[in-house]
Amino acid sequence: MIKPPRSYYDAEFGEMRIEDNYWTLVQCAVLGDRRVPICVDFEQGQIGELSSLQREAIRQALALPPDVLRITAPIVLQNYDVYRDMIGDQEMPLLANPIQIWDQVTFSYIYVPPHVEYDLHIATFELMAKCDWEPEHGLEVRFRNGVADNADQIGETGR
């Protein structure tokens, strides 16, 4: 029986290793002071098959600006506020400064989906995280063309 490869070397992004059923780049994205792994699903499940949009999404994830958390905070805070209003939880404090939202978030990884399978026409990646206000479903922040445009519970963000 032939064992599938556990690592792959990409000429642009370097080594990738299979971890938890995802191909994970050895190099990480940097969000604020945190290093976040980048996980990729190859197009059509073929090892080494990255579409041009996936490549662009990975480049964008690796080149996030130093103030990405400040820029993205209002979108995540909006998710927090909607959730807070929906469940009427007085235990969830109003946050005076949007940047405080990141104190309640633990980054898991950045996910680069197969663009062809999802019929995505814009370079897209998703920041997957755990969040204090919805521990069961976590948080997914979608970036399109390197800019966060949606935050919702994991699996709920529209494609």
Please name the residues in contact with 9: beta carbons below 8 A apart, sequence gap of 6 or more: 15, 16
pLDDT of 52: 92
Residue 93 lies in a domain: no
> Is residue 159 one of the residues assigned to a domain?
yes
**What domain range is 23 assigned to?**
1-66+107-129+136-159
Residue 71, in any domain of the structure? no
pTM of the prediction?
0.89
Q: Is residue 83 one of the residues assigned to a domain?
A: no
Domain count, the chain: 1
Predicted pLDDT of residue 154:
76
CA-CA distance, 86 to 68, in Å (whole number)?
Answer: 27
**Element holding 86 (H helix, E strand):** helix 68-87
Whether 84 maps to a domain, the answer reads no
Q: Cβ atoms within 10 A of the Cβ of 9, count?
A: 10
3-state helix, strand, coil in the chain (%, to 5): 25, 30, 40
| DSSP string for residues in 137-156 | T-EEEEEETTEEEEEESTTT
- Confidence tier at 159 by pLDDT (50, 70, 90): very low
What pLDDT is stored for residue 27 in this prediction?
95
